[in-house]
Structure 1
Amino acid sequence: MGFAFRKAITKSGLQHLAPPPPAPGALCSEPERQIRSTVDWSESATYGEHIWFETNVSGDFCYVGEQYCVAKMLQKSVSRRKCAACKIVVHTPCIEQLEKINFRCKPSFRESGSRNIREPTFVRHHWVHRRRQDGKCRHCGKGFQQKFTFHSKEIVAISCSWCKQAYHSKVSCFMLQQIEEPCSLGVHAAVVIPPTWILRARRPQNTLKASKKKKRASFKRKSSKKGPEEGRWRPFIIRPTPSPLMKPLLVFVNPKSGGNQGAKIIQSFLWYLNPRQVFDLSQGGPKEALEMYRKVHNLRILACGGDGTVGWILSTLDQLRLKPPPPVAILPLGTGNDLARTLNWGGGYTDEPVSKILSHVEEGNVVQLDRWDLRAEPNPDAGPEERDEGATDRLPLDVFNNYFSLGFDAHVTLEFHESREANPEKFNSRFRNKMFYAGTAFSDFLMGSSKDLAKHIRVVCDGTDLTPKIQDLKPQCIVFLNIPRYCAGTMPWGHPGEHHDFEPQRHDDGYLEVIGFTMTSLAALQVGGHGERLTQCREVVLTTSKAIPVQVDGEPCKLAASRIRIALRNQATMVQKAKRRSAAPLHSDQQPVPEQLRIQVSRVSMHDYEALHYDKEQLKEASVPLGTVVVPGDSDLELCRAHIERLQQQEHEGAGAKSPTCQKLSPKWCFLDATTASRFYRIDRAQEHLNYVTEIAQDEIYILDPELLGASARPDLPTPTSPLPTSPCSPTLRSLPGDVAPPKGEELIEAAKRNNFCKLQELHRAGGDLMHRDEQSRTLLHHAVSTGSKEVVRYLLDHAPPEILDAVEENGETCLHQAAALGQRTICHYIVEAGASLMKTDQQGDTPRQRAEKAQDTELAAYLENRQHYQMIQREDQETAV
């Protein structure tokens, strides 16, 4: 690209990012600007401010350029940060230098200025120079040449961080007139809140005339009747321009849900949306945001968290009394996620692209959800001998969306909560939590603390006394259920069609299902069983004669003898994930759906999926054929699953488990979507009925089997846990007599250098030290990597102490640094899966991933980046557990 053209882009493309003249007193001059990782809603918010997160990304040149790069001047390695909203990468000390090149982030609001605030405006593109860019040029349709070193200066693309359009950085592709054209906001424009809607307001003057003070006081009195959002000044005002095609979205993320998944996914939403429509619930809850956006037409809400997070948002909407109430969609990040399962959002988030999630929210159907009031008062007929000092007269919640229960399940949950509050450091591991639940349930079963539940309760449903029926059943748990799902996906009322004596179960019919459980039926729940169906009713009066454990949507307490009334409160407006209207494949909408579909099924191991899901072609090559199924052309994945399991059972019975193809499928296998995104991603089993076979596959359907060995998926990549391949020299190995001196270290090094696998085994059996180093501190593993000997590397990984993995030679390189620099993908796979650290740096400050990038091996670098991220998560979990 010519100098004049680049200069024009820099000048024109960045001018529109510079802020307009600030309003008097609107901006505060600070000696040092704060590095922010959250959106600033104060009156001192900076126009075009970046949102920084720490990153290990090294494939992008520091965006400020060599002239202003502090790290370049210091000539040392420093930490880097990435802006979640525009995805530029800079050294941490270089953030202040962005002012000198006049580069700001995509503006998330507009200044009031002197123009009429109702004047229609449009959004301009936010052009960013990229030294790495995926996809193809919008003009010529060709891919972008990738540059890998951190010090690469060449700009390969220019892309907009609003609409994501990207062009080659040359005159023939990126025309100068495109700089000033309006931005469409991209494929998700219908849910993006334009920055032109968000107006920074001026603070009212402090000096007012006496007459105006009186008017203002009168206004405050009137405003107190209008609603909580009126009558007080806010730094930002929302001035929407309604459109019937728009469904503006507010995203609320609970960063602590689902093992801190929320903290990671929030960055993706900041990239796809306006940062001022994404809210971290740990920063004050949803109320302020909902008040601010209450006048936005067609507003939708996405709750990212567990069922408790959804209940929090619904209760806040009740308080604010928004008319009409915005419908709420769910991205399940919790553990049970029963409400999310009911509304087709699945049992938990895995790795579905955020872009797909936004499309589902936009296309989802609006449905109603019953919400139930709970009113508890002390039972006046209970004697003093029935009082329990540890009991309370108040329920933890006065409304429920999912269920209210008492007895065994509530007692187990209460024990867990009380133990966690007393010793929180012992409950930071999901595995430990599950073990505690299991242990508590078993001890409660042995003690039989809930076996006399029926003697201490009276249940009246719609005026009918069910107490005699309950006493005959002798349940240890009673559940008042609003939705079909309970206890992480089980169906306690039974599957549709199994309850002919009752109306079909619905979440919007104004009826509760009342179910009793014995210990036997509780145990059968996990294998498809159900409880004793007692009744369906509109109102419940429950009377307890002693303190009994209860829980409301998972919140437990020990409730003193009480009289509890359950009645319909209202209906919440929700978004239900919709099934596509057509089974036509996404890649070819014009093709008719065949009556029958004959399709090849192939499965992928978890090792290969984690390593290669970013590369479709490599993952397809790594897959193992399972067989062929014939299904109707309009089959959804639930039907396809039944055909695959029938096929696999026939194959297994006929051929036995003699080959990878015949290895039995594990119960946890799931479908992979291979067509609708730039990479493979998993489909939650609870959402299989929403997807057609032709949606996720073209000529072949792929499934992920977590128990399939990586060696089976790719014979040339045996897993570290698989047995070492037999060698012709193996039978001749013998231990030498005790009086024979062990081999010298030089002999071992020579065997490793010469790729003499049999000799190395013989020397090791004779007592050779596999941790021996040469004069340059290089281990046997360093030498085996340098010669590319896969057999020797595998042998050392299986037999040498773990310390060999991260041992460094004189220049600070580990064996993984060396393998990455040489582009040895298979050996890198061996070393990483054996547990080598991906965070270690050599004397130049490079990690193994950075060495692969310098070697311009993009696929290896991407694999190492994936595993590095996974390793960091594991380390955080281990530190938290400790």
Structure 2
Amino acid sequence: MLQQIEEACSLGAHAAVIVPPTWIIRVRRPQSSLKSSKKKKRTSFKRKSSKKGAEEARWKPFIVRPIPSQLMKPLLVFVNPKSGGNQGAKIIQSFMWYLNPRQVFDLSQGGPKEGLEMYRKVHNLRILACGGDGTVGWILSTLDQLQLNPQPAVAVLPLGTGNDLARTLNWGGVTVSKILSHVEDGNIVQLDRWNLHLEPNPEAGSEEKDEQVTDKLPLDVFNNYFSLGFDAHVTLEFHESREANPEKFNSRFRNKMFYAGTAFSDFLMGSSKDLAKHIKVVCDGADLTSKVQELKLQCLVFLNIPRYCAGTMPWGNPSEHHDFEPQRHDDGCIEVIGFTMTSLATLQVGGHGERLNQCREVTLTTYKSIPMQVDGEPCKLAPSTIHISLRNQANMVQKTKRRTSIPLLNDQQPFPERLRIRVNRISMHDYEALHYHKEKLKEQSRWGLIVVPGDSDLETCRIHIERLQEAGDESKSKMLSSQRLSPKWCFLDFTETVSTSPGMPDLTHSPVSTLPFNLASAMVVPATQESAEQSQVISFCALMDLHKQGADLCVQDSAGRTLLHHAVDVASKEIVRYVIDNAPTDILDVTEKENGETVLHKAASMCQRTICHYLVEAGASLMKTDLQGDTPKHRAEKAKDSELAAYLENRQHYQMIQREDQETAV
């Protein structure tokens, strides 16, 4: 690879999250001078060693000098190697391979503080926490201590046993490359965090001394849940067994089997059956103690996120006649839920607990030592009074779910509830005469309106259009009574659902030269901004369906524009990637008739870096000029995107070297 020695690295497909090597400044270890070393001889050995230790602690091997860029989202990766049966140790090397090794940190080597301090001045910083929910809490607490402004958003690669916070934010275990893409594209949402203020309860009676009892909680803040009773007792026994024999808890399956066995034995012993007699619960001033005792609850959970106990949803979906709202992790309210042994057993099959309250403050008083857990960290707490109040809100990265009709819990709905779509009917004659004048074509072809659910696919729209025709036949409309739709009618423009009249040939049997349907019209930007995103999703799905039916992806419109030109117009990365993967490479360098620009010229003009990278990697020419004599690099320079221009220049140089090598070989 000698020809690449002088080539600047483009950082590849994950360039937006990679810390460039130019940001890393190596720092040499300070060396004392001869004069200072003589002075040190006079001091005592104890003082000398302590001073040297302080200097070693302050010294860091490198510093970070960032160059801010709006398009970059530099990522810090913190890996807990002990999470999930020591899985974390296996992925550290993978992240170091994909990223700059200086942005990957092992949490067993001093925790997250040092890395966060190094990168505290980096703009648009994001964090990936690789571990369980406890690892995420550790990083969020460190961010609180450092008071970074603005606070970086945290994404999660789940490696633990429960991973309830990761499930809430849609994260799951996939390949490292996909995780990096999801972190870059994810939405930033808020996560409520809650304080736990503890005071001893002087009213409680004396108890027999127990070595397990403590007067402090493991954590003074929680992100997921705080609970007491049966579930905390099971977690405490698991924790103690793992501390005694860590080699027996090296897999998620074994851990879950131990949980199940411990829960069953505790159920038989009835360890938490008298919980309700020894606590007092006050939520926003309302005393719930009598209700807790009446229901004979054996477990009490204060829940911040919808998920609990490895994916269950204990709050459920309250119906309209209840006084409760659906649960959210950013509303400043905490859900109070009670469980009996029966309701706990039904959690794994879709059941829920007893909804007690949604409140902003809680005062919990205990009159005996009770097992408790804070985000999975258990203890047996001496009689105390615990005040729960909102601490702050943390920025989290929520993985986006594409092409789904189910709205995310705390995200905006991806589709409107209903869509009103105007349907136009176009004959072959009208299309051939007016396809250059889209507005006139619309006026000639107006037919009616259909109303469909916001997440409808094309087949649903087809059914509604057929019904529209039937309704027209019943009313004996002049337009419809004169001519019925052909059984072979198809969609022309998916952003406006236009149908065609008889004479329209079947798409799968039409030669490209006479095909009245232009695939590129599927990507016309809709008139209203609110339907633009839905339109792109429908266009992409429709494009795949039509390609499977035999449509030619190399089709061009009258101006010589290809599918790729139209995909760049609407910035659809999915369509660009699909066409590149499924069409001949000749399509990459097709030029428009009017200005002679290729799709790479257009993408460079619009500063679409990811699409430019896709096209260059697929083999698009960087040396081709348009009618003005501009290369794609010149287009990027005119758009004042210096980084994109530098990238294209480097790749252009590489292409020239490749061409020279090929000519030499010939």
Tell me the TM-score range normalised by the shorter chain: 0.5 to 0.7
Go from structure 1 to structure 2 and tell me whether the alpha carbon gap of 1:503 and 1:268 turns closer, same or farther (over 3 Å shift). Answer: same
1:284 to 2:110 alignment? yes
Counterpart contact for 2:77–2:127, Cα < 8 Å = yes
Distance 2:65 2:140 in 1: 24
Matches within 5 A, 1:485-564: 485-495=307-317, 500-564=322-386
1:242 aligned onto 2:64: no
Counterpart check, 1:182 vs 2:8: yes
Matches within 5 A, 1:152-171: none
Quick one: distance in 2 between partners of 1:497 and 1:266? 45
Does the aligned pair in 2 maintain the 1:388–1:560 contact within 8 Å?
no
**Structure 1 residues 300, 455: closer, same or farther in 2, change over 3 A?**
same
Report the counterpart of residue 365 of structure 1 in structure 2: 187
State the alpha-carbon separation in 2 of the partners of residues 436 and 312 from structure 1. Answer: 25
The higher relative CO (CA closer than 8 Å, separation ≥ 6) is in 2
- The one-letter amino acid of 2:76's match is L
* CA deviation vs aligned residue, 1:585-609 (integer Å, no higher than 9, x gap): xxxxxxxxxx9xxxxxxxxxxxxxx
Q: What corresponds to 1:733 in structure 2?
A: none
- How far 1:334 moved relative to its partner? 1.2
Tell me the distance in 2 between the aligned counterparts of 1:509 and 1:536.
10
Q: 1:490 to 1:184 in 2, by over 3 A?
A: same
* SS of equivalent residue, structure 1 residue 542: strand
CA deviation digits over 1:184-236, x for unaligned, max 9?
A: 212211111000000012445645999xx9xxxxxxxxxxxxxx99x944331
Aligned with residue 389 of structure 2, among 557, 567, 570: 567
- What are the residue-to-residue correspondences of 1:579-598 with 2, within 5 Å? 579-580=401-402
Structure 2: which amino acid aligns with 1:279? F
What aligned pairs does 1:808-847 form with structure 2 within 5 A after superposition? none
**Is residue 2:305 matched to residue 1:483?**
yes
Q: State whether structure 2 residue 161 is matched by structure 1 residue 335.
A: yes
SS of equivalent residue, structure 1 residue 283? coil
**Gapped regions of structure 1 (runs ≥ 5):** 1-8, 14-175, 214-227, 584-594, 596-630, 636-690, 701-882
Distance 2:151 2:140 in 1: 10
Partner SS for 2:281: strand
Contact persistence 2:153–2:397 (CA under 8 A): yes
Take 2:276 and 2:324, find their aligned partners in 1: how far apart are those partners? Answer: 24
C-alpha deviation, 1:699, in angstroms: 6.6
Structure 1 partner of 2:200: 378
Return the offset for 1:303: 0.7
1:488 Cα deviation from its structure 2 partner: 0.6
SS in 1 for 2:338: strand
Residue 414 of structure 1: how far off its partner (Å): 1.1
Secondary structure class of the residue paired with 2:343: helix
CA distance in 2, matches of 1:354, 1:363: 14
Change beyond 3 A, Cα 1:468–1:333? same
Partner of 2:414: none
Paired with 1:209 and 1:582, the residues of 2 have a C-alpha distance of 71
Tell me which protein shows more helix as a share of its residues. 2
Task: Give the TM-score normalised by structure 1.
Answer: 0.43
**Shift in Å at residue 312 of structure 1?**
1.1
Whole-angstrom distance in 1 between the partners of 2:318 and 2:543: 29
Partner secondary structure for residue 526 of structure 1? helix
Count matched residues. 406
- Contact (CA 8 Å) 2:371, 2:379: kept in 1 or not? yes
8 Å CA contact retained: 1:388, 1:547: no
Q: 2:226 aligns with which of 396, 400, 404?
A: 404
Shift of residue 530 of structure 1? 0.4
Q: Judging changes above 3 Å, is the alpha-carbon distance between structure 1 residues 517 and 195 closer, same or farther for their aligned structure 2 residues?
A: same
1:263-313 per-position Cα deviation (integer Å, ceiling 9, x unaligned): 222222122211111112222221111111111111100111111111111
Instruction: Give the equivalent residue in structure 2 for 1:303.
Output: 129
Match of 1:434 in 2: 256
Distance 1:198 1:486 in 2: 41
Take 1:342 and 1:466, find their aligned partners in 2: how far apart are those partners?
28
Tell me the distance in 1 between the aligned counterparts of 2:542 and 2:61. 46
The aligned counterpart of 2:286 is 464
Change (3 A) 1:183 1:434: closer
C-alpha distance in structure 2 between counterparts of 1:200 and 1:439, whole Å: 53
Counterpart AA for 1:382: A
Q: Does the 8 A contact of 2:458 with 2:542 survive in 1? A: no
Superposed CA offset, 1:700-736 (max 9, x none): 9xxxxxxxxxxxxxxxxxxxxxxxxxxxxxxxxxxxx
* Correspondence list, 1:1-80, <5 A: 13=2
Letter in 2 for 1:250: L
For the 8 Å contact 2:85–2:250, the answer to whether it is kept is no
Distance 2:288 2:11 in 1: 58
SS across alignment from 1:282 = coil
Task: Give 2:243's aligned residue.
Answer: 421
Contact 1:484 1:492 in 2 (8 A): yes
Kindly provide the amino acid, as one letter, of the partner of residue 182 in structure 1.
A
Q: Structure 2: how far apart are the matches of 1:423 and 1:206?
A: 47
Q: Supply the distance in 1 between the matched residues of 2:182 and 2:100 (Cα, whole angstroms).
A: 18
Residues 161 and 252 of structure 2 are in contact (CA less than 8 Å); yes or no, is this contact kept in structure 1?
no
1:205–1:480 CA distance, 2 compared to 1 (3 A): same
- In structure 2, relative to structure 1, the CA distance for the partners of 1:566 and 1:387 (3 Å cut) is farther
Residue 437 of structure 2 is matched in structure 1 by none
Shift, 1:581, TM fit: 7.5
Are the aligned partners of 1:386 and 1:545 in contact in 2 as well (CA < 8 Å)? no
Q: Deviations over 1:747-793 (max 9, x none)?
A: xxxxxxxxxxxxxxxxxxxxxxxxxxxxxxxxxxxxxxxxxxxxxxx
How far apart are residue 426 of structure 1 and its match? Answer: 3.9
Opposite residue 192 of structure 1, the aligned amino acid is I
Distance in 2 (CA, whole Å) between partners of 1:488 and 1:498 is 28
Return the TM-score normalized by structure 2. Answer: 0.57
Q: Secondary structure at the match of 1:187?
A: helix
1:258 paired to 2:84? yes
Cα 1:242–1:281, aligned 2, differ >3 Å: closer, same or farther?
Answer: same
CA distance in structure 2 between the aligned counterparts of 1:377 and 1:634, rounded to whole angstroms: 62
3-state SS, counterpart of residue 444 of structure 1:
helix
| Equivalence for 1:137 | none
* 1:286–1:530 CA distance, 2 compared to 1 (3 A): same
Q: Secondary structure at the match of 1:245?
A: coil
Aligned partner of 2:410 in structure 1 is: none
1:449 aligns with 2:275: no
Q: Cα–Cα, structure 1 residues 561 and 331, in superposed 2: closer, same or farther, change >3 Å?
A: same
Q: In 1, Cα distance between the equivalents of 2:291 and 2:320? A: 21
Unpaired segments of 5 or more residues in structure 2? 40-53, 406-420, 422-454, 460-536, 547-666
Task: String of CA shifts for 1:375-406, please: whole Å, max 9, x gaps.
Answer: 22211011114764531111111111000000
Aligned 8 A contact 2:318 2:325 in 1: no
Q: For 1:798-809, list aligned pairs within 5 A.
A: none
Contact 2:306–2:327 (8 Å) recurs in 1:
yes
Moved over 6 A (4+): 691-697
